[in-house]
Structure 1
Amino acid sequence: MQGFEWHVPADQLHWKRLQKALPSLRDIGVDRMWIPPGCKGMDASGIGYDVYDLWDLGEFHQKGSRATRWGPKEHLSEMMQTAQDVGIGICWDTILNHKAGADRTETFQATKVNPEDRNAAISPPENISGWVRFDFSGRKGKYSSMKYHHQHFNGVDWNETRKETAIYKIAGARKDWAKDVSDEHGNYDYLMFANLDHTNPEVRADIFKWSEWIGTELPISGMRIDAAKHYSAAFQRDFVNHLRRTTFVGNHDTQPGQSLETIIIPFFKPIAYGLILLRSQGQPCVFYGDLYGLRGGPASLSRPACSGKLPILMQARKLYAYGEQRDYFDKRHCIGFVRYGTVHYSWGLACVISNTVATYKRMYVGVKHMGEEWTDILDWCIETVIIDHRGYGIFPVAAKSISVWVNDKAKGRKSLARPFDTDIYDL
């Protein structure tokens, strides 16, 4: 479960919001949650990808606020404890590519590069004034005494002397873009703000030390590495290996108005979730904005996706999506699959999907189900299917829809109709 979207209110109550939601999320099958970046950003209302201080989780008065957009550190700790109590692992969103909101400028030599080909210089080296001095005065050295200067970065996007926006590569001994990054724009090491130089020993030491600290400060169960294609694959390998040696296991960008905006036709969203939640492949992630609705956009998107049926699909994964899978991908516009269950989760399910007209599919669920009555847990088909003596059923599906069929007497079948609380903003 992705536990945020771009337009969650900047009211410093989101950790409380998630804490309230955790028990009901666990009930419908969530076992891990990806939370937003919880470190102090350059803007108190920012999402957190504009990271200022990794070591400030909403504890120190910096950048105009003690709390982050999501809440103060004590709310974060309480939410994490509740997650632990109900059995939901928390995945931390980790921003290690850059820093933003520097406290002061410094003067240093840099070369302006072509934004479309960052390997190509378009000016000789010159003295520029860049925002690269990070003092973290509000924290006063607690947890880490490290302060950042221009030698800890390899690129900036603002020359304060000229008041000019451009991409500058910082000059110096052994200063260059990382070579083992995406080759978009020639070299995609630089993304935004003050770009960290992961070859610098002090930078590496501070990040590695932070990774140990965050794991002892909070009971997180994993990390998501943001902007991974923008920094050295070798550094990422070293970072992950360091985490493995010290404790850890193991999207908002596509919502309307964001950088990778992808509009999904409403009828297809429940189909897509059915495919990722109920099939055997992969590790599905549910988006906060689909479960609770999106803020700050069209009214049509403010309501939960899938006509409110997403919690049912999530709980169906928890109750029935086990065991061997058989696919019925024999027609272009109507597909189906069966999950046969296991010894401990024996009920199984049959799923049928149409992207055109109402239709049906004959599928084998097993002779042990002979004579059983199966119904659609989504209630988009109101018929009852009787499993025949050979173990087959003829399962209908509405036009441009999905139906998920289970034994009407299956464990948990009645609880699927229980209302799910989507009014998460009523604190």
Structure 2
Amino acid sequence: MKIKQYIYPFLFVLLTLGACSSDDEGTDPDPGTGGGTVDPPPAAAQPINLTDYDNGTGVMMQAFYWDVEPRHEWWDVLSEQVDEWAEAGIDRIWLPPATKGQSGGYSMGYDVSDYFDFGDYFQHGTTETRFGSRAELEDLISAAHSNGIEVIADIVINHNSGGGEQFNPYRGYNTYTLFDQEHGNASGMFNRNFEYFYPNSVSQYDPGSLFYAETNLDHHREYVQDWLWKKENSVAKYYQNVMGFDGWRFDYVLGFEPWVVKDWLDEVGGFSVVEMWDGNAGNLRNYVEETGSGAFDFSTFYKLDEAFDRFDDLTYLQKDMLWKTHPTKAVTFTANHDTEKDTNQDNYIAAANKMKAYAFILTHPGYPTIFYSDYENPSFQEELNQLILINNTIATGDFEVLYVDADEYVMQRKGTATNPGLILYINISNNIKARGDIQTKWNSTPVMDYSGNINFSTSTAADGKVQLRAPANGYAIYSIME
């Protein structure tokens, strides 16, 4: 992981102005109820260089959105961006399903047909996938690795699409379950027929698929296990050893039992995160304990949605979330290709609240993910880069909520003996907020905002208490000065 070797422009402005205590645009803050006074920092106090700290964490980039354009060029588009992402502090990229789907050149890969066609064979109306050729994918993986970035494969092993039609005696009618070189599996590897989908001569019932019932793979069949993860030329080992993928994002794990993920990881290892679309932290917790895999933290996603969008109440940020008990297994996020497909749905955080949500996940425990479309939004990118820098440097140590009500949320990361940590102050009211008697770990120490959102610095008292401020409908991130 690279750490930026410069300070962002808005912090440079603070440097050139010198340490000061002032309100944004001269607006008097709402003093809150905490009391306290503002002690200016010493005139010589300067911002710390965040790049002097490296807490060993990183950030994953979801490197696609739904129906990416231009078609057949996506791998090349990403290859041109990995240098910049590495410089920003991205240490993994999550790619869409990389092999041929039933929709051919229009497929986002989730209608997987041939697990070994990365753009090698003409089938479903195209040789290249929607994202490009195999050679272009290999170039992207090489470019990522040369920048110290791991590449995560999206694995769809619940359902298949695009096979040939055949009579299925276990259903009593024709199903599209014939996959061979003439029917949706031009590679000739992992050929399938109705015996390898539910139901069949061995398994009479589907353990949990809500979708794709006729083409839901039966993972109890030894043949399916061999081809997916056990054989030397299995999907898992081919992706890992031939293509160079470093880990896995398992799609729709509600469609098969947890032991499948555990067996896969026991066989091949690698970084792993599952899409278990469940907002209940307890259910996510049980899953990661049973499988050993990480999980996208939908419990946090929904609490952010409730706090910022649905109820305008920051006390929801105190609810149960996966990262509170399993920080190394919780992959936090504010958006993905599914939540952003239809912005009128309930599963969506409004653009006006996105940066506050990102400030939360990039300062709290857990492994945060940035959504490609958010990062490429010119209104967000500079701010996201600063948050990534903060995440990778001073967002460390135990966390403690110092104050919370409907409008305000104040949280401290306590740092370590050699890392100062930080304080996040979120404010969703329409006024600047000031809260006194905030108990910090910094005694008689100058502090300032490192988010660039409010031009304010002060000093803590001898007992560590301080008054801090947050911009209207925004956030500030405080740490020490030198």
TM over 0.5: yes
Aligned-residue offset at 1:407: 4.3
Match of 1:198 among 194, 219, 227: 219
User: Equivalences for 1:147-226 in 2 at 5 Å?
Assistant: 147-154=191-198, 170=199, 172-179=200-207, 181=208, 188=209, 190-191=211-212, 194-208=215-229, 209-226=234-251
Cα distance in structure 2, aligned partners of 1:387 and 1:94: 50
Aligned-residue offset at 1:262: 2.2
Aligned-residue offset at 1:373: 5.1
Residue 136 (str. 1) matches residue 181 (str. 2): yes
Cα distance in structure 1, aligned partners of 2:372 and 2:226: 34
Cα distance in structure 2, aligned partners of 1:217 and 1:241: 19
Structure 2 letter corresponding to 1:65: T
Does the CA contact (< 8 Å) of 1:34 and 1:91 recur in 2? yes
Does the CA contact (< 8 Å) of 1:253 and 1:259 recur in 2? no
Report the counterpart of residue 4 of structure 2 in structure 1: none
Distance 1:207 1:140, change over 3 A: closer
Report the counterpart of residue 254 of structure 2 in structure 1: 229
Q: Specify which structure has the higher proportion of helix.
A: 2
User: Equivalences for 1:7-406 in 2 at 5 Å?
Assistant: 7-43=67-103, 44-102=105-163, 104-111=164-171, 126=172, 128-137=173-182, 145-154=189-198, 170=199, 172-179=200-207, 181=208, 188=209, 190-191=211-212, 194-208=215-229, 209-244=234-269, 248-250=270-272, 251-257=336-342, 262-279=347-364, 281-293=365-377, 304-305=379-380, 309-344=383-418, 346-356=419-429, 357-362=431-436, 363-367=438-442, 370=445, 372=446, 374=448, 376-406=449-479
Aligned-residue offset at 1:215: 0.8
Aligned-residue offset at 1:91: 1.4
Cα distance in structure 1, aligned partners of 2:338 and 2:184: 31
Structure 2 letter corresponding to 1:396: R
The C-alpha deviation readout for 1:83-133, integer Å capped at 9, x for no partner, is 11211111110011121111x31122244xxxxxxxxxxxxxx3x222222
Identity across the alignment (%): 21
Aligned-residue offset at 1:260: 6.5
Distance 1:369 1:20, change over 3 A: farther
Aligned-residue offset at 1:72: 1.0
Distance 1:195 1:373, change over 3 A: closer
Cα distance in structure 1, aligned partners of 2:456 and 2:357: 23
Aligned-residue offset at 1:52: 0.8
Cα distance in structure 1, aligned partners of 2:221 and 2:143: 38
Report the counterpart of residue 416 of structure 1 in structure 2: none
Aligned-residue offset at 1:355: 1.9
Does the CA contact (< 8 Å) of 1:336 and 1:361 recur in 2? no
Structure 2 letter corresponding to 1:6: W
Aligned-residue offset at 1:359: 0.7
Structure 1 letter corresponding to 2:174: S
Aligned-residue offset at 1:55: 0.7
Which of 201-210 and 34-43 deviates more?
201-210
For structure 1, list consecutive stretches of 5 or more residues without a partner in the other structure. Answer: 112-125, 155-169, 182-187, 294-302, 410-427
Distance 1:341 1:146, change over 3 A: closer
Q: What is the TM-score normalised by the length of structure 2?
A: 0.66
The C-alpha deviation readout for 1:13-45, integer Å capped at 9, x for no partner, is 222222222222222222122111111111211
Cα distance in structure 1, aligned partners of 2:398 and 2:156: 39
Q: CA RMSD in A?
A: 2.7
Does the CA contact (< 8 Å) of 2:179 and 2:185 recur in 1? no
Would you say how many aligned residue pairs link Structure 1 and Structure 2? 352
Distance 1:214 1:330, change over 3 A: closer
3-state SS of 2:454 partner: coil
Cα distance in structure 1, aligned partners of 2:260 and 2:396: 38
Does the CA contact (< 8 Å) of 2:123 and 2:186 recur in 1? no
User: Equivalences for 1:414-425 in 2 at 5 Å?
Assistant: none
Which of 332-341 and 77-86 deviates more?
332-341
Q: What is the TM-score normalised by the length of structure 1?
A: 0.74
Structure 2 letter corresponding to 1:322: T
Does the CA contact (< 8 Å) of 2:66 and 2:341 recur in 1? no
